[in-house]
Structure 1
């Protein structure tokens, strides 16, 4: 009985991760061929693309009547990105901290995390809350683009843009978007079936299976870059991904399926995400010209492992 849902989750993950990577490349190539600057592509399409799996899963889950899965995915992905992705990467190789990240991206992430807490505080995620989060997303994109332009940096993203003609890029864009939607539907269905079969809440499934699965691109990229000693952008990638999770993923259930939020998301999961975000922020401020080393990496990883243990215990006891 469980073979079909498990297969759906596995196939959904594979399709989601493969198509998300190709979708970002096709979108960047399309925009580049259409005349967008490489800077603008890097600040918008590529950045938003890192959260494409989470966004699509959130949309499908909300439309399928499982908004808690979407909420759990947003919160769980942020917890996994800091506790698992950054924690494990820092354990492998200390990650240098760029001051520009501390000055530019970190305040936005802290602001987004605070606004998300405000949106969840009353136990209800409404369309008003969703619009507030989307408004901060628009401001964040404007701020990042403006700050990057004012820095006078000549750095481009050409290495991240596939060399495709416009017709081919458009074909890949449409094809991978279809696969993204299909894979996410498969994943959401399989995860919901597993949750029902084991009596586990959709929130917990979203916080664990779906969140870890949709964080796999960040984990793979960060670990690979650490092993190759090209790890200086790892923190920026995680902060950017977490920022978009709060401002583009979390609003989806509020926009498409507004209503009450699982109480555990407010009392257990958001505080864990807030704790990890504040710990990361404090360490980055302290080491703004240093690195995220093995000691904070071990601390972040231990907190994440402890959090997973808490989730397992609460699932067993039904608390």
Structure 2
């Protein structure tokens, strides 16, 4: 199993590096071609940071490991809120200013509830996957509309500051192509290593997807969010998490339904999905801050992180 562990670590490192270069190339290319800053920040970067989850889930589904795909989608969402956002808030309290983001959190919860209704029969079939993909397209259209009508939103200024402005079109396309190629190879290596490790340890592919793979594919969001908050770009830090979670639920979770329809592990509905919804509702309460200030404080970040590690403990116990 040593070869698989080395492959998993190498795949994780390559995945993080390639996702960063892919986003760099995509955002720089879009900027040079005249795409608006908000569209780049909300849509291009959002899809780019979710590319690891999409590729890993697609490859796993094509190989018949639908449990790994579903686990990756749900586990990434739980990781994004509990671990990524928690650690980011521990680095610096997050002050949420963007009106766009305030509208995204209720939408995320509604999408989660809709996804639960699709899965409650214990199956993720072609119809379910198609419905999720339609929802994915509608969310993209909505985000394009938000970007067009949110010029004065604080999020636009933060994205403008964060964009790379020194790349030529040739260099941007180079990083875009290289990032995608390495992303594809590293995702394939990760799926191979994760499946073999799951079989060697005697645990389900779902659990591996919820833990090792989910953490690995969420590392680009962690890097982006921590870097953003260190530059005082708080809305970008939260936006990375919200955008990624929406794309995971609609785009990533649709893939096993469309590519490899089948049964869903009962633990998804009894354990993982309720925890994901619970963390999202907690994020809603914290971000809207009915206590008076729209800040995610350090102690709240610590609480999110503690809840995430408690969830990992639950997985170890139940596995």
What is the count of residue pairs matched by the alignment?
A: 314
Task: Say yes or no: does 1:77 pair with 2:81.
Answer: no
In structure 2, the residue matched to 1:88 is: 87
Instruction: Name 1:139's counterpart in structure 2.
Output: 138
Q: How does 1:10-25 map to 2 (within 5 A)?
A: 10-25=9-24
User: How far apart, in 2, do the equivalents of 1:46 and 1:229 lie?
Assistant: 18
Aligned residue number for residue 280 of structure 2? 277
Structure 1 residues 286 and 180, CA gap change in structure 2 (3 angstroms): same
Alignment of 1:30-45 (within 5 A): 30-45=29-44
Is the contact made by 1:25 and 1:162 (CA closer than 8 Å) also made in structure 2? no
- 3-state secondary structure, aligned to 2:234: coil
Q: How far apart, CA to CA, are the structure 2 residues paired with 1:232 and 1:44?
A: 15
Alignment of 1:27-176 (within 5 A): 27-98=26-97, 100-101=99-100, 103-153=102-152, 155=156, 157-158=159-160, 159-161=162-164, 163-176=166-179
Q: 1:161–1:130: structure 2 CA closer, same or farther, 3 Å change rule?
A: farther
Alpha-carbon distance, 1:229 to partner: 4.2
Contact 1:59 1:253 in 2 (8 A): yes
Which is further off, 233-242 or 284-293? 284-293
Give the superposed CA RMSD: 2.1
Distance 2:235 2:34 in 1: 29
Unpaired runs of at least 5, structure 1:
none
Whether 1:212 aligns to 2:215 is yes
Shift of 1:101: 4.2
When normalised by structure 2's length, the TM-score is: 0.91
Pairing of 1:226-241 with structure 2 (within 5 A)? 226-241=229-244
The answer to whether the 8 Å contact 1:5/1:194 transfers is yes
3-state SS of paired residue (1:98) = coil
Looking at structure 1, the residues matched to 91 and 176 of structure 2 have their Cα atoms a distance apart, in angstroms, of: 35
Q: How many angstroms does 1:177 deviate by? A: 1.6
SS in 1 for 2:7: helix
Structure 2 gap segments, 5+ residues each: none
CA shift at 1:85, angstroms?
Answer: 1.2
Q: Secondary structure at the match of 1:277?
A: helix
Of 25-34 and 252-261, the range deviating more from structure 2: 25-34
1:181 to 180, 184, 195: 184
